[in-house]
Amino acid sequence: MIAQVIINTTAKKLNTIFDYNIPKDLQEYISIGTKVMVPFGRKKDLEEGFVVGLKETSEYEVKDIAKLEENLTEKQIELAKWMAKRYFCNVSDCIKIMQTPGTRSKQNKIQDKMINTIYLKDMQSGIIKSEKQQKILQFVKENEGVTIPEIELFTDCSRAIVNTLIKNGFLEVVETKVERNPLANKKIERTQKYKLNQEQQKAYDKIESAMDQKKYEQFLIYGITGSGKTEIYLQLIEKAIKKNQSAIMLVPEISLTPQMIERFIARFGKEQIAVLHSKLSIGERHDEWERIRQNKARIVIGARSAIFAPVQNLGIILIDEEHDSSYKSEANPRYHAKEIANYIAKQEEIPLVLGSATPDITTYYKAIKTDTITMLELTKRANEAQLPKVEIIDLKQELANGNHSMLSMDLYSEIEKNLKNKHQTILFLNRRGYSTFVMCRECGYTVKCRNCNVSMTYHGYQNKLKCHYCGQEEPIVTTCPECGSKKIRYFGTGTQKLEQEIKKQFPSSTTIRMDTDTVTKKNSHEQILNTFKSQNIDILIGTQMVVKGHHFPNVTLVGVIAADSSLNIDDYRANERTFQILTQVAGRAGRGNLPGKVIIQTYNPQDFSIQSAQKQSYKDFYETEIALRKQLKYPPFCDIIVIRFEGKNEGEVKALALESYNKLYQYVKNNEEISLLKPMPAPIDKIQNRYRWRMILKGNTTTKINELLNNLLKEIYSQNQKDLRVMVDVNPNNMN
């Protein structure tokens, strides 16, 4: 029997199938999906590979498979093959993200966590001399499997006495596996399910019907903020559990995961919940993955990679905040979790539920214009709370009135009022750091990263300049390196500067900040949110981490400091992202019994995305945006495929980009459905000392186009392009 093996490598030239003989003693253990170790080329060490096919004979002289490792399923291998074609990457890249965390690297593999536990061995093996020895033996008899520190704690006896009992044969030490469970210390009171209102019940019934019929169907729960989408998710998962099925619940941000987990534990208990996200230790992720594989955990909650969890008997997939850009991977393979979820749901014949107050334009278009997605609408807040009042402040007028502060007069007044009333405030600014760029006012020199062609950001607390692309740090600049002037000024505003300003203007207030700089430690997201809620901190300052999904009943005021920051990005989705962020952040106010207010500060008060956010009217925004998209031929009317070229030599990068353009152009020049834009330097043309060019193709990603681009990549890499890299990204988050 011959195994067809893909070698675990990122080398594009080795993204092909190699034949290996299956020794007789391994034949019953090898199937499609088995991870194997094989001799490869002239290397002395064995290489890791994955069996992707089986056949009777080979036309080549083949080597034997050396040994077996972990198994994937045949369905997972088929998904990996589909992903490799869809996302223009190696099959092994896709297989790796489906493996158990901690086993994906050839070195430093995670081991089971073991502890020494104490058991009774032989009560008759000798004479028990002391009262303390008798006390320890009695305790172990009643509590077999305890540790030595536990014996010391509960018997008030020393370790030396325990060791004597072990030496004399009364006790024995047994090595025991311990699960690393991130939920072990969670203590949350159980809650009962709520009665659904009429709109919620209608949505639930439609999805329940698909579950009962074991039918694939894609649903969009389009509900305003606070309309009770999570309660529907909980009751659908309860339905799956009663049917002895499992569920996957995806959330976009790590910062959302703690609150979502708490609600799920309160409803289902922690024993059958597994959580997966990047802030867990690799050991915790390993053990959670194994719990899922063994069907000990039937509810999986996590960020995008949780979609690959090895769930047993999957009954439903739910994706909260389905519009969020974090569901799209920025690293190889550049997959979108929604597309993977849709593929799995079709294969398993189960419903896929998408939820959002501000759906992705493409999702909403499909829901109202095609029969591929079923629309379920929630128009009322679940607790009958009113939507907050939204006010727009024109910052140009504030400047004309002599106000150069970061806070408009109205926002200052409302914060002051909130402090007096002991209500909480959230201030949103989507820029971290203190100042966004540093410039010489004499000659115009701007401090840029030495590795990337981007301005460095000043971080006041560390008193350093940082590059947000490569992490490079520099000391602050006091003298211009170009002209020698001392007129160095710090421009722009980040969350650190805003926090300092708030402390200056409201010295008696308590504040807490949540951005990438404050959430570096494990569980720091959860700690910040819990502190804000439990200690009734006056003001939470943050980036988009504070925008989505959080429920704080005492928050009655939300201030958006600079609504224009997302409008000015080089991306066709700038309007959509601005509207989504503003609507989501507005949804944090007035979620309890208290009325809420939102103040949006902007230099563009007439912009339609800001106006629509003020009215909290997604439909108004959609009608304007979809007309623009149709006119300019942007998604959902086509796909945008960005082909990016990178390398250390700019001349070689440019030459490869132009050569690739000429080859592609020959295929698409007569196709009116496809437009190919000439290669140009990327908007950020150097990151980490690598020059970057890009080429954009607009058109639907057909099988023909997919095949064409995959063949182009094979041809480029077959020419052994040394340091050059080519990446193909379908509908990327970042056009840079």
The model's pLDDT over 552-599, given as tens digits with 9 standing for 90+, comes to 888 889 999 988 877 777 788 889 999 998 888 887 777 667 888 999
Residues 397 and 256 in one domain: no
Choose from 492-501, 625-634, 707-716, 727-736 the range with maximum mean pLDDT.
625-634
Contact of 281 with 522, CB cutoff 8 Å = yes
Which pairing describes strands 555-560 and 597-602: parallel, antiparallel, or unpaired?
Answer: parallel
CATH of the domain at 563: 3.40.50.300
pLDDT band at 255 (very low <50, low <70, confident <90, very high): low
Going 231 to 236 to 239 to 245, the CA torsion angle's sign is negative
Assess if residue 480 is contained within a domain. Answer: no
pLDDT of residue 720: 61
Structure tokens at 573: 């989705």
Q: How many CB atoms sit inside 10 A of residue 122's CB? A: 11
**C-alpha closest to that of 646 among 733, 729, 731:** 729
Residues 624 and 511 in one domain: yes
Q: 486 to each of 437, 445, 457, 533, how far by Cα in Å?
A: 16, 12, 19, 45
Assess if residue 92 is contained within a domain. Answer: yes
- pTM, 2 dp: 0.83
Contact of 682 with 696, CB cutoff 8 Å = no
Assess if residue 216 is contained within a domain. Answer: yes
pLDDT of residue 122: 67
Round to whole Å and give the CA distance between 447 and 521. Answer: 29
23-68 pLDDT, tens digit per residue, is 988 888 888 988 888 998 888 888 889 999 999 999 888 999 988 8
Helix (H, G, I), strand (E, B) or coil at 281: coil
Round to whole Å and give the CA distance between 12 and 185. Answer: 45
- Chain-centre distance for alpha carbon 357: 19
Residues 170 and 125 in one domain: yes
Q: What is the largest CA-CA distance in the chain?
A: 97
Round to whole Å and give the CA distance between 668 and 243. Answer: 51
Assess if residue 192 is contained within a domain. Answer: no
Round to whole Å and give the CA distance between 701 and 717. Answer: 22
Q: Considering 356, 378, 400, which residue would you say is the last residue of a domain?
A: 378
Q: Considering 600, 630, 660, which residue would you say is the last residue of a domain?
A: 630
Residues 66 and 210 in one domain: no
Which pairing describes strands 217-223 and 351-356: parallel, antiparallel, or unpaired?
Answer: parallel
Structure tokens at 300: 């999986």
For residue 636, whether the previous peptide bond is cis, meaning omega lies within 30 degrees of 0, is yes
Q: How many CB atoms sit inside 10 A of residue 69's CB? A: 14
pLDDT band at 129 (very low <50, low <70, confident <90, very high): low
CATH of the domain at 132: 1.10.10
Round to whole Å and give the CA distance between 485 and 498. Answer: 28
Q: Considering 630, 653, 680, which residue would you say is the last residue of a domain?
A: 630
Q: 660 to each of 654, 683, 703, how far by Cα in Å?
A: 10, 19, 19
Residues 373 and 395 in one domain: no
pLDDT of residue 623: 96
The pLDDT > 90 percentage for the chain reads 42
Assess if residue 105 is contained within a domain. Answer: no
Residues 6+ away with beta carbon under 8 Å from 621: 575, 579, 608, 609, 612, 613
Structure tokens at 557: 């005021």
Assess if residue 186 is contained within a domain. Answer: no
Round to whole Å and give the CA distance between 452 and 449. Answer: 5
Round to whole Å and give the CA distance between 152 and 147. Answer: 9
CATH of the domain at 89: 3.40.1440.60
Residues 504 and 600 in one domain: yes
Helix (H, G, I), strand (E, B) or coil at 643: strand
CA terminus-to-terminus distance, the chain: 48
Residues 374 and 395 in one domain: no
- Name the domain count of the chain: 5
Which pairing describes strands 464-466 and 457-459: parallel, antiparallel, or unpaired?
Answer: antiparallel
Residues 366 and 393 in one domain: no
What b/e string do you get for 48-62 counting C-beta neighbours within 10 Å, with b at 16 or more?
bbbbbeeeeeeeeeb
CATH of the domain at 718: 3.30.70.600
Round to whole Å and give the CA distance between 87 and 282. Answer: 26
Could you say which DSSP state residue 568 is in?
T
Q: Is 534 exposed, middle or buried (0-12, 13-18, 19+ CB in 10 A)?
A: exposed
Q: How many CB atoms sit inside 10 A of residue 690's CB? A: 20
Residues 206 and 323 in one domain: yes
pLDDT of residue 599: 94
Whether the per-residue pLDDT at 107 is higher than 70: the answer is: no
Residues 420 and 368 in one domain: no
Per DSSP, what are the bridge partners of residue 118? Answer: 146, 173
Whether the per-residue pLDDT at 182 is higher than 80: the answer is: no
pLDDT of residue 586: 81
Residue 62's φ and ψ, nearest 5 degrees, are -115, 155
Q: How many CB atoms sit inside 10 A of residue 294's CB? A: 10
Residues 125 and 70 in one domain: no
Assess if residue 447 is contained within a domain. Answer: no
Range of the domain at 124: 113-178
Whether the per-residue pLDDT at 131 is higher than 70: the answer is: yes
Assess if residue 483 is contained within a domain. Answer: no
Residues 415 and 559 in one domain: yes
pLDDT band at 108 (very low <50, low <70, confident <90, very high): low
More confident residue, 124 or 130: 130
Structure tokens at 633: 């031929």
pLDDT of residue 282: 81
